[in-house]
Structure 1
Amino acid sequence: MPTARRRLSTSLATIVILAGGAGLSWVGAEAAATYLEDRAARDVTQVLAAQGHDWATVEADGLLVRLTGTAPSEVDRFRAVTQAATVVDAGRVLDRMTVASVEAMTPPEFTIELLRSDRGISLIGLVPASTDRAAILRTLRLGGGEVTDLLEAADHPAPEGWDAALSLGLQAIEMAGQSKVSITPGQVRVAALAADRADQGRLEAALRQAAPADLTLDLQIAAPRPVIAPFILRFAMDGDGARFDACAVDDEAARDRVAEAARSAGMQALPDCVLGLGVPTEDWADAAVAAITAVASLGQGQVTLSDTDVALVMPAGVDRARFDMVAGQLEGALPPAYRLEAQLLEAEAAPVPVAFEASLAPAGSLSMRGRIADAQMRQAVDSFARSRFQVAQSGLQTDPQVPGGWTVRVIAGLEAMDALQSGQVRVTPDMIALSGVSGDPHATDRAAALLSDRLGAGARYELTIGYDRRLDLALGLPDGEDCVARLNLIMSESEIGFEPSRSSVAGDPAPTLARFSRAMQDCAEFQIEAGGHTDSQGSEGFNAELSRSRAQAIVSAMDEAGIDTANMTVRGYGESRPIATNETDEGREANRRIEFRLLSPHPVRSEALPAPVVVSGVTGEIVVPPPPDGPPPAMAGAMQGPRMPPVMGPVMPQAMGPMLPEAPAQMQGPQLPHSRDASGMVPMTVGVSEEFQTLEAREESLRVPVLDADPATPRPGARPASVAGRTGAAEEPTDE
């Protein structure tokens, strides 16, 4: 029995020991597995957090590591898996991550591209579903032409700034001709081609005025380069330094070369060369650089390039040998198509006391006085002046002693006045002085080119032309009436009100003041009255004072907002000027208003116009080749320029019968135009730039030759007897 009991005890002990060992092993295994899982999860989490993948969640399941979460993109998901594989074996990483939908995160980019051509308008792009596409097409079809709709719609809300940009873009495509308009929320980009510089300024001004303050407007409006004829460049050096009186180039490379040559000659300022069409040859820049270098080598003088004619003019006092050497070098450096005329001026002679003066008023009326050759030339000058200006007074006097070519100089002076809005010209035998004000920043260049084209070489001139930006059509500045209309429109659309029977402003005036500020940027120089008006409720004196106080409150608010109100005045009209009946609420509401009125159309200048630069020079010669049969007779010593045929009288037979009276001289050739054509353009002037013979030469042509009889002169035979008898019966014989 004891043996059996001992054997049972041993078995039970063995079982207990084995069970305890197994239990301890299981507990140890669980602890080890948990430790490994926690460590793997912790290590992977730390690595992902260090790389910025905080969106990922790490779960450990035994030896496996499960990654969950929503990755911003597929790239981020792949990077998270790669980083986890650096901590644990890649085979133990389970990818349970998802990628966020791109469509759900990024709204569509709404845009419209409008392209306008001669065939019509096309639209392409993506718009919100709420956009009224039918209204857009109706608006575009009002301008005529075919409209091609290639728009697509997306069911997303319209972003901020979309409606304002769409409205401005439709206005832009209607204003511009051939253009491309790109519309995005809060931004409009306009690329267009204007007819000329003035049209470019008007279009840019209109678009900027129509653009809201919170919208970005990108304008890329270009104007074609002007056609310059003659293509002219004039460089001069004197005691005041080096300068350009006129500068025309065909491209940017030529402009850079000319500017570099001018800097080498000592010119400090950057030349304002005009890029234009009409260059006579491709090597214009070579000729210009050579001419500038020639003047710089002499240290004074002037050179003029007019198309392919080059005139080098040096003042008296330059060494003749040095002048001849430089002129020869310049002639050799010029391209083959260019012709050089070099002139060294002699000492100035005493001026002839003959003058012609003309004054152009700002309103456009012209007054003339001075000397002219004869009645025919006076009629020619009058006709030319009336074709260009409104002639208010013509006090021209005939003077046969005027120098040759005088009429051509007078016509040239009047023609140069086309560059002015107001001013005067004085023509003397040795100088044409033009002064005045113009709205063209290149008026001096225009006047110099006109004088050079009309007079040829050797004519001295002095130009004193000031620039007034108010007269520049290219800037599109408003006049006084436009300014007042803008202010009244802003006031009518504003939400500014007043407390009942008080002058205190009710409502938020900031938006209206912001519009006032933009409108007054180019209008502060005009005298404008802010007038207050009320309805008929209350006494007349109270209403007058109330209206004045309210108008003053508006002007004071404008002044506090930084708007220049120095030229604005205030007046209260009370109930004296109603615009509607005071019997209804609507009428009384309309009568309670602030109205702006223009006091004077002339701006008040706070600063004087910049002093004009005096430009003096000598015109370049335009060489006219002689006809094949040689130069015309008896005119070689006269002034350069196209010539008129000589005035010839009738050829009378030799002394037979009584002397006939001299026939009046008739001016040959076409006559001057007297008026503008239907298009408003001044027709080409023909017949006034030709040189005419002097009065003595014309009189010589009109004389009838008388010859004395000699023994060889043929004589009539004896009369028939019948004729002699009748004559003897009728007359008494006389003795000689």
Structure 2
Amino acid sequence: MTRLTPRLLAPAVIALAAAICLLAAYLAVGQLESRMAKAVRAALSDAGIAWAEATPDGMLMRLTGTAPDEAARFRALSAAGAVIDASHVLDEINVEPPNPLAAPRFSVELLRNASGISVIGLVPAATDRDRLARDLGRLARNLPVTDMLESATAPVPEGWEAALAFGITALGRFDSAKVSITPGEVSVSAIAPSPRDRDRIARELRAAAPAGLTPVLEISAPRPMIAPFTLRFVLEGGTARFDACAADTAEAVTLIAEAARRAGMTGALDCPLGLGVPAPGWGEAAAHGIDALAEIGGGTLAFSDADVTLVAAAGTERARFDKAVATLRSALPAPFELTANLPDPAGTEGGNASAGPRDFVATLSPEGKVQLRGRVPDALVQSAAESYARARFGLNNVRSATRLDPDLPEGWPVRVLAGLEVLSQLRNGTVTVQADLVRLSGVTMDDTAQARVARLLADRLGEGQNFEIDITYVEPQETPDGRPTPEACVARIGEILAQEKITFAPGSTRIEGAAVRVVDRIAEVLRSCPNAEIEIGGHTDSQGRAALNERLSQERAEAVLTALMARRVLTSNLTARGYGPSQPIADNGTEAGREANRRIEFRLVEAAPEAEANENGQEDEADGQD
């Protein structure tokens, strides 16, 4: 047996001890690495970080994985650093590449009021800002345009240009509005002059909206003052209709509509809300009146403020009439007062039947010529009727062939003059005055004419009078495709006004008589020039105080603008301005000169110089003096 010598034993023992120490150290490090990894993984798990992996490397800890963003990477490093010294953490984390920036949200808000136009929002850099400024400048006319737009370089969204153009068009329809524009949607919050204008403009804007664009319209309108507050319901031959209708509340409209349906009326009810109702029980009173007329079976029911007139159809049974009238009298709330009339069977009332019917007839031709025939009570009324007709229809447009009949019933002159007044509201037509009836028929291009005529007759004829209205509304013709230039439009209007002026009664702003047909002709011209910037100027003579004349001229110019709007003319490009006596065209020292100075003129609005410079040779839309 070989023995280790002491000299060899000592190194062997040392080597064995070193191996044992090395093994122990290796085992201790591995155990430490395991504990460190376990602690870091627990910290990551507690922080909700599932994408990171902790791998020990001696006294170091490697963090790997792909973080969704830099913030998530930082949270993982912080979680590991809370367990071990941060200097021992190796950051080998990748970060996902960032998503490309989302396209900016382009939008524009247009605000318009009496102070001018403001525009704010974000538009694509490719948007033609100069053209936008010109368009808004034309709408603002002499008022300021405040531009608070910003731009961004990004692709132009689909539908943006169409939405922007439509939004500007919508803004031009109102004097007070807010228009919000985004690609594919235009929201309009605005105030219209009247409920009728509100409904018409809303229809036109929806029809003009480009394909794929959604118009959101919130258009309000102040309630008009209606005087007298009028309702007229006719039941004839089983057919029911309203010649005029007004109501003070939505509940009153419902009551009236339900009563009209019970009486046999079909179709929608056009009964605008207005101010001026004589009593809160208007809807209830009107419903009771319609029910009474339906019970009688035929005739007319008319409300003029608190005066109620019920006229039964000729031949109505007396007992049936009396019963319905008694029921209505007891049902009408205060302060409504009823006048009921059962006409005698049709026939000649007094006089010599062979001498012709006892009536007065005035006929208005489309050319503005008026013929008067029939009966008047005396020469004074005959002269008054002829003078009144010439004042309404023009000095040389009236021909009279009336005859005297002193036995005509009381109130005949008032009925004749009322008939001529309402005839002047039509383009052409006929009015017939009889002992117990005033009948008006004809044609108009103003869809408000029938209600206005009903109010006039109710007001002029007074309580207990009977009248019939048969007015046909003619839709204005479509705009021709081959549109004339703005200059040609204004020249044509000048020719019309040279033939016949728009005249007003002294101190009045009401358009009637021959002026109705002049406005009709001008409306036809303007419908072919929807983009011409035109000013309607009102002028007076020098008689009276200058301030009053200036105000009167402004009101008359605005009356012409309103009349054109009623004839379906787009008025966003029209302005009304009163000049008073400041721009005479003749000598105010003569009656002929003063007559010439009392006038309405149409002229193109002068384009701003900077707008002309930016047109780059394109044809200007406006020309002339302001």
Structure 1 length as normaliser, TM-score?
A: 0.50
**Mapped pair 1:358 → 2:358:** no
User: Equivalent residues in 2 for 1:455-534 (5 A)?
Assistant: 455-470=461-476, 477-478=478-479, 480=480, 483=483
Partner of 1:335: 333
Partner of 2:404: 399
**Mapped pair 1:427 → 2:401:** no
1:25-77: CA deviation from partner (whole Å, max 9, x where unpaired): 99x99xx99xx9xx99xx99xx99xxxxxxx95545369985533359x9xx7
Distance in 1, Cα, partners of 2:112 & 2:204: 20
Partner of 1:231: 229
Q: The residue matched to 1:261 in structure 2 has which SS? A: helix
1:594-645: CA deviation from partner (whole Å, max 9, x where unpaired): xxxxxxxxxxxxxxxxxxxxxxxxxxxxxxxxxxxxxxxxxxxxxxxxxxxx
By how many angstroms is 1:392 displaced? 3.1
Distance in 1, Cα, partners of 2:164 & 2:339: 61
Specify the code of the residue in structure 1 equivalent to 2:279.
Answer: T
**Mapped pair 1:115 → 2:120:** no
Partner of 2:282: 284
Distance in 2, Cα, partners of 1:676 & 1:193: 37
| Residues 340, 464 of structure 2: 8 Å contact kept | no
1:260-313: CA deviation from partner (whole Å, max 9, x where unpaired): 233344444332212333322333223222323333455554432110111233
Root-mean-square deviation over aligned CA pairs:
5.9
User: Equivalent residues in 2 for 1:228-307 (5 A)?
Assistant: 228-307=226-305
By how many angstroms is 1:356 displaced? 2.9
Q: The residue matched to 2:358 in structure 1 has which SS? A: coil
Distance in 1, Cα, partners of 2:136 & 2:267: 50
**Mapped pair 1:375 → 2:416:** no
| Residues 419, 440 of structure 2: 8 Å contact kept | yes
Q: The residue matched to 2:245 in structure 1 has which SS? A: strand
Partner of 1:452: 458
| Residues 372, 402 of structure 1: 8 Å contact kept | no
Distance in 2, Cα, partners of 1:104 & 1:328: 80
1:655-691: CA deviation from partner (whole Å, max 9, x where unpaired): xxxxxxxxxxxxxxxxxxxx999477xxxxxxxxxxx
Partner of 1:497: none
Partner of 2:68: 70
| Residues 236, 302 of structure 1: 8 Å contact kept | yes
Q: Are the structure 2 counterparts of residues 434 and 71 from structure 1 closer, same or farther at C-alpha, using a change threshold of 3 Å?
A: farther
Specify the code of the residue in structure 1 equivalent to 2:110.
Answer: E
| Residues 372, 396 of structure 1: 8 Å contact kept | no
Q: The residue matched to 1:426 in structure 2 has which SS? A: strand
Q: The residue matched to 1:275 in structure 2 has which SS? A: coil
| Residues 159, 185 of structure 1: 8 Å contact kept | no
Q: Are the structure 2 counterparts of residues 239 and 175 from structure 1 closer, same or farther at C-alpha, using a change threshold of 3 Å?
A: closer
By how many angstroms is 1:221 displaced? 5.5
Specify the code of the residue in structure 1 equivalent to 2:156.
Answer: P
Q: Are the structure 2 counterparts of residues 368 and 400 from structure 1 closer, same or farther at C-alpha, using a change threshold of 3 Å?
A: closer
Q: Are the structure 2 counterparts of residues 112 and 270 from structure 1 closer, same or farther at C-alpha, using a change threshold of 3 Å?
A: closer
Distance in 1, Cα, partners of 2:136 & 2:445: 37
Distance in 2, Cα, partners of 1:287 & 1:467: 29
Aligned length: 476
By how many angstroms is 1:189 displaced? 4.7
Q: Are the structure 2 counterparts of residues 122 and 372 from structure 1 closer, same or farther at C-alpha, using a change threshold of 3 Å?
A: same
By how many angstroms is 1:258 displaced? 1.6
By how many angstroms is 1:231 displaced? 1.3
| Residues 112, 127 of structure 1: 8 Å contact kept | no
Distance in 1, Cα, partners of 2:135 & 2:451: 48
By how many angstroms is 1:207 displaced? 8.0
By how many angstroms is 1:232 displaced? 1.2
Partner of 2:444: 438
* Structure 1 stretches lacking a partner, 5+ long: 49-55, 472-476, 489-522, 527-674, 681-736
Partner of 1:546: none
1:523-579: CA deviation from partner (whole Å, max 9, x where unpaired): 9xx9xxxxxxxxxxxxxxxxxxxxxxxxxxxxxxxxxxxxxxxxxxxxxxxxxxxxx
By how many angstroms is 1:324 displaced? 4.3
Specify the code of the residue in structure 1 equivalent to 2:336.
Answer: Y
**Mapped pair 1:61 → 2:55:** yes
Q: Are the structure 2 counterparts of residues 349 and 321 from structure 1 closer, same or farther at C-alpha, using a change threshold of 3 Å?
A: same
Partner of 2:137: 140
By how many angstroms is 1:334 displaced? 2.5
1:60-109: CA deviation from partner (whole Å, max 9, x where unpaired): 5369985533359x9xx79xx99xx9xxxx999x9979799899435254
Specify the code of the residue in structure 2 equivalent to 1:254.
Answer: A
Q: Are the structure 2 counterparts of residues 338 and 156 from structure 1 closer, same or farther at C-alpha, using a change threshold of 3 Å?
A: same
Distance in 1, Cα, partners of 2:267 & 2:149: 54
Partner of 1:417: 423
Percent identity between the two aligned chains: 37
| Residues 370, 395 of structure 1: 8 Å contact kept | no
Specify the code of the residue in structure 2 equivalent to 1:450.
Answer: L
Specify the code of the residue in structure 2 equivalent to 1:277.
Answer: L
Distance in 2, Cα, partners of 1:139 & 1:272: 36
1:345-387: CA deviation from partner (whole Å, max 9, x where unpaired): 4444435522333322223222233333332212111122122
Q: The residue matched to 2:302 in structure 1 has which SS? A: strand
| Residues 363, 372 of structure 2: 8 Å contact kept | yes
Distance in 2, Cα, partners of 1:340 & 1:268: 27
**Mapped pair 1:153 → 2:150:** yes
Bigger RCO (CA 8 Å, 6+ sep): 1
By how many angstroms is 1:184 displaced? 4.1
By how many angstroms is 1:418 displaced? 3.2
- Range with greater deviation from structure 2 (62-71 or 284-293): 62-71
Specify the code of the residue in structure 2 equivalent to 1:303.
Answer: L
Q: The residue matched to 2:329 in structure 1 has which SS? A: helix
Distance in 1, Cα, partners of 2:145 & 2:402: 68
Distance in 1, Cα, partners of 2:108 & 2:465: 61
Specify the code of the residue in structure 2 equivalent to 1:107.
Answer: P
By how many angstroms is 1:129 displaced? 6.4
Q: The residue matched to 2:454 in structure 1 has which SS? A: helix
By how many angstroms is 1:396 displaced? 1.9
Q: Are the structure 2 counterparts of residues 329 and 428 from structure 1 closer, same or farther at C-alpha, using a change threshold of 3 Å?
A: closer
Specify the code of the residue in structure 2 equivalent to 1:395.
Answer: S
Distance in 1, Cα, partners of 2:169 & 2:239: 50
By how many angstroms is 1:225 displaced? 4.1
Structure with bigger gyration radius: 1
Distance in 2, Cα, partners of 1:374 & 1:211: 61
Of 94, 118, 121, the match for 1:125: 121
Q: The residue matched to 2:241 in structure 1 has which SS? A: strand
1:229-255: CA deviation from partner (whole Å, max 9, x where unpaired): 221112344541543332111232321
Q: Are the structure 2 counterparts of residues 678 and 248 from structure 1 closer, same or farther at C-alpha, using a change threshold of 3 Å?
A: farther
Q: Are the structure 2 counterparts of residues 101 and 403 from structure 1 closer, same or farther at C-alpha, using a change threshold of 3 Å?
A: farther
Distance in 1, Cα, partners of 2:390 & 2:168: 45
Q: Are the structure 2 counterparts of residues 193 and 365 from structure 1 closer, same or farther at C-alpha, using a change threshold of 3 Å?
A: farther
Distance in 2, Cα, partners of 1:267 & 1:213: 38
Distance in 2, Cα, partners of 1:121 & 1:66: 59
* Structure 2 stretches lacking a partner, 5+ long: 489-523, 528-594, 601-626
| Residues 112, 126 of structure 1: 8 Å contact kept | no
